[in-house]
Amino acid sequence: MVAAQPKYQVFVSSTFEDLQGERDQVIRAVLEMGHIPVGMEMFSAADEEQWGIISRHIDQSDYYVVIVAHRLGSVTDEGVSFTRKEYEYAREQGVPCLGFVIDDQAPWPGDKFDSGESDRADLIDFKRLVKEKPVSFWANADDLHAKCSIALMKAFTANPRDGWVRASSAGGAEMAAEVVRLSAENAELRNQLKAAGEASKKEQRDEIVRVVRMLFSNKRKPSYRYRGSSKWHDDSEVSLFHVFKWLGPEMMVESTVEDLAGTLAMHVRTDPHKTWDLVAYNQLKELLADFVTLGLAEPSTKKHAVSDNNEYWSLTEFGLEVLRRVRQVNMSEHDESDEEPAAPSKEHGTQGEDG
């Protein structure tokens, strides 16, 4: 019996609006060779997170094709272009990657170039990354079609992958028995994962309780000053728990050291009639170091403009869980109270530990 020829799944990645015609040519080349093209325009994000869908389809693909012209494209929350994130992920997963970079001398519409300096710099860096592996340079859509067909044919021969075959061609009784065995094994693994997941949740709950107790038991006297004054005050003792409760919401996305210093000063000042300025930076950083030690906060990894000299901080995933639990408890206490608590004024803040 002749073995069934596999059909390869080829993931096609590029910026979208400026390369629609070129993508169509690559997809046509894949179809003409009898294989399966996959691109983000072919399926809906539905209710799943977009990156979860992208990564799953890359995992299932046998080859990855990236087309690069003169635009960086949309950017993720981490400040990296989606095209680059896809490319780096495919390389990390060991999926054979075929790069197609436009020839710098090829004519190209002026409205399909990036205009921002930051985008242009990131695009140059991305092209440099793609060129670390052998690439093909193309001048137009037809040229790209021809070069992609040749490159894919060479890749199929030099680096054959599992691909997809019809179920009817995949085997007989032995395959059926293997499917039964794998199904039973899969069920057992699911049960083990469920038990492990429940144990992990209990461990996390216990860890949250332990960390909250440590936050409560540790007191600090941060030095602060009022606006227009150079005199520092340290007359307000607060627990790390309250400091975290005040600063945590500021770091849910990210916040600068300066903003955190101002927020903390608002809460620890003892004279409600004076306008706060900030808490001493060195003491604020010691508090942040305490949060790092407990796994609650970390320096932000988001990209910023080169001219931005601010230091940014954000919560870790564990820090978000602790903050969520702290606020749930706080909301429950307010819900059980007969009096509706007054919201703190930005001008007057709260005093000492009453926040």
pLDDT score of 87: 95
133 plus 223 within the same structural domain? no
- pLDDT of 354 reads 40
Same domain, 130 and 23: yes
Same domain, 140 and 228: no
Single out the residue of 149, 141, 43, 60 nearest to residue 98, CA to CA. 149
Statement to judge: residues 17 and 154 lie in one domain: yes
261 assigned to some structural domain: yes
3-state helix, strand, coil in the chain (%, to 5): 50, 15, 35
pLDDT tens readout for residues 60-78: 999 999 999 999 998 888 8
Q: What is the pTM of this model?
A: 0.49
Phi then psi for residue 238, to 5 deg, are -135, 155
- Positive or negative, the CA dihedral 230, 234, 235, 240 is positive
What tokens does 327 get? 């606020």
* pLDDT (0 to 100) of residue 161: 93
- The tokens describing 29, both together, are 């080349």
Cα–Cα dist 341/155, whole Å: 67
Stretch 303-313: mean pLDDT: 91
Residue 350 pLDDT more than 70?
no
Same domain, yes or no: 247 and 153: no
Q: Please write the tens of the pLDDT for every residue from 133-187.
A: 989 999 999 999 999 999 999 999 999 998 987 766 655 566 667 777 888 888 8
Assess if residue 191 is contained within a domain: no
Query: Considering the domain boundaries, does residue 88 fall inside one?
Result: yes
Are 155 and 223 within one domain?
Answer: no
247 and 160, same structural domain? no
Distance, CA of 286 to CA of 269 (rounded, Å): 19
Strands 276-279 and 224-226, how do they pair? antiparallel
**Number of structural domains in the chain:** 2
Q: Are residues 253 and 325 in the same domain?
A: yes
Helix axes 82-92, 50-60, angle to 10 degrees: 40
Q: Checking DSSP bridges between strand 9-13 and strand 63-68, what pairing results, if any?
A: parallel
Q: What's the chain's Rg over C-alpha atoms?
A: 28
Range of 133's domain?
Answer: 9-165
Q: For residue 352, what pLDDT band results from cuts at 50, 70 and 90?
A: very low
Q: Which tokens is 181 given? A: 């065995």
* pLDDT value, residue 349: 40
Two structure tokens written together for 246: 């005040």
Query: Is the domain of 161 the same as that of 15?
Result: yes
What does the alpha-carbon distance between residue 87 and residue 95 come to, in Å, rounded to a whole number?
A: 10
Average pLDDT over the chain, rounded to whole? 86
229: domain CATH number is 1.10.10.10
Residue 213 has a pLDDT of: 92
Q: Determine, yes or no, domain membership for 196.
A: no
pLDDT digits (tens, 9 = 90+) for 253-270: 899 999 999 999 999 998
347 pLDDT exceeds 60? Answer: no
Residue 266 near residue 257 (C-beta atoms within 8 A): no
- Same domain membership, residue 229 and residue 143: no
Residues 36 and 161 in one domain: yes
On the question of pLDDT at 346 being above 60, the answer is no
CA nearest to 242, candidates 143, 325, 142, 352: 352
What is the structure's pLDDT at 200? Answer: 74
CA 189 – CA 228 distance, rounded (Å): 64
Q: Which residues pair with 279 in a beta bridge?
A: 224
The verdict on residue 174 lying in a domain is no
- CA of 341: how far to CAs of 12, 219, 336, 337, 346, in Å? 55, 25, 11, 8, 15
Query: In this structure, is residue 78 part of a structural domain?
Result: yes
pLDDT tops 90 at residue 31? yes
Residue 295 has pLDDT above 60, yes or no: yes
Determine the 3-state secondary structure of 135 from DSSP: strand
Query: 14 and 161 share a domain?
Result: yes
The two counts, helices (H) then strands (E), for the chain are 10, 12
User: pLDDT (tens digit, 9 = 90+) per residue, 102-137?
Assistant: 999 999 999 999 988 899 999 999 999 999 998 999
Residue 341 belongs to some domain of the structure: no
Whichever domain contains 18, its CATH number is 3.40.50.10140
| In the chain, alpha helices (H) | 20-32, 50-60, 82-92, 117-130, 141-158, 173-217, 240-247, 257-268, 281-293, 317-336
Q: Comparing C-alpha atoms, which of 75, 89, 69, 74 is closest to residue 11? A: 89
Mean of the pLDDT values across residues 323-349? 61
34-43, 65-74, 263-272, 281-290: least confidently modelled range: 34-43
Assess whether pLDDT exceeds 50 at residue 47: no
